[in-house]
Structure 1
């Protein structure tokens, strides 16, 4: 763990260690993360996209709506996730038409969560929750967001035993990349839940992860 902390100190802004929270927002350009999910090899469609009604399994992570123990409710057109996740962290898909879709737009594929109005309605696309369960615990991740119109995204970080590490609001949200670092020499980010209150919803373009120690 000391070796990992030393590596992170060399590559990350010093203010990441002074934010006072369990997980800190950092500049993603300062993160050296070897794993990269882009959705480019995932089946996709134009417009509302290719609907995904089950958990989406990709190399290094699984994608769904929430974790076992959590409840999804509607706040207008958006999902709101409440409740404590159970141990061990278990990812679940949403109801049919209210889980995920993969959209292809100008050669780029992005992942959408579908809100309570359901697929393929436009005012449901991007309004739904997206849960991510990593195969291995992480010290840092970065997420590329697409489609935001200066609303707010909320990211909940969880350990594998279901304990919530941190809830981080990101506002304003737009076409942006955001890095997140576990403070205190930690490497126990097992899952995240992304929700939003953006007028047009948001999508995930890509995710980077993989502990820096793996580079040695």
Structure 2
């Protein structure tokens, strides 16, 4: 077998040279610049005029208020996913269920959709934030403790954005005083109004408060929606979503 391989190598060499091809190592292709890059949250906080919070609702301890329909807050819609998307389901090694990445793309134009009844969104007072916060509900559904913060959340802006920020809180002592061990990750999918995927980011979360900011390459205003997933063992809560309203006000 070795003789056959050697013979093939010898025969291939004249063919390569005859074709005028170089034997020099290929030059690496430069990586494309990122379409979305991370920026400091406080930079966006000082620049952007819009902030989505959940404090128009009364303070209610977990599990809080259940919402089976999308929420209209300020100049944005909040739901579980976008029309056309089918979310996968996944479990970690401890058996905790999470909403997973979509197996189908969104249908244009981008339209917000709720999750299944009892497994979409809830809002409750969050002691880590010191205010109401959004809990995306996982497959276990409301009011299960293992469902709080394990789901998907989609945000659809009225006006296309060039930058978006949000605050994400990971595990903290639950109402029974327990704290989950380990840390998880965050996935963000950024879309245009026509459903084109601009970027799919994977982030490692710190325990406690995470302040995140994202800027479009070239400061282009074409971020219409964001889908947010996580794999944090204790689930996440979301608050203070930053966006720009300058064009709408003008």
Band of TM-score, shorter chain: 0.7 to 0.9
For 1:213 and 1:28, the matched residues in 2 are separated by 21
Q: Is the 8 A contact 1:139 1:188 kept in 2?
A: yes
Give the drift of 1:37.
Answer: 1.1
Tell me what 1:109 maps to. Answer: 132
The answer to whether the aligner puts 1:193 opposite 2:227 as a matched pair is yes
Aligned to 2:197: 164
Within-5 A mapping of 1:6-85? 20-31=33-44, 32-43=47-58, 45-76=60-91, 77-82=97-102, 83-85=104-106
8 Å CA contact 1:44, 1:102 repeated in 2: no
Q: Distance in 1 between matches of 2:79 and 2:247?
A: 28
Higher strand share: 1
Partners of 2:162 and 2:220 within 8 A in 1:
yes
Residue equivalent to 2:168: 145
Paired residue total? 199
- State how far apart, in whole Å, the 1-side matches of 2:62 and 2:183 are: 22
Q: In 2, Cα distance between the equivalents of 1:44 and 1:62?
A: 21
Deviations 1:27-75 (A, max 9, x none): 1122211111111113553121110110000111110000011002210
Give the TM-score, by structure 2 length: 0.75
Shift of 1:173: 4.0
Q: CA deviation at 1:203?
A: 1.0
User: Higher mean Cα deviation, 28-37 or 157-166?
Assistant: 28-37
- Say which of 109, 117, 124 aligns to 1:96: 117
Q: Does 1:177 align with 2:190?
A: no
Q: 1:103 to 1:160 in 2, by over 3 A?
A: same
CA–CA distance in 2 between the matches of 1:154 and 1:173? Answer: 14
Gaps in structure 1 of 5+ consecutive residues: 1-18
**Higher Cα Rg, which structure:** 2
Structure 1 residues 54 and 201, CA gap change in structure 2 (3 angstroms): same
SS at match of 2:138: coil
Structure 2 stretches lacking a partner, 5+ long: 1-31, 92-96, 172-181
Shift of 1:105: 3.1
Give the drift of 1:129.
0.1
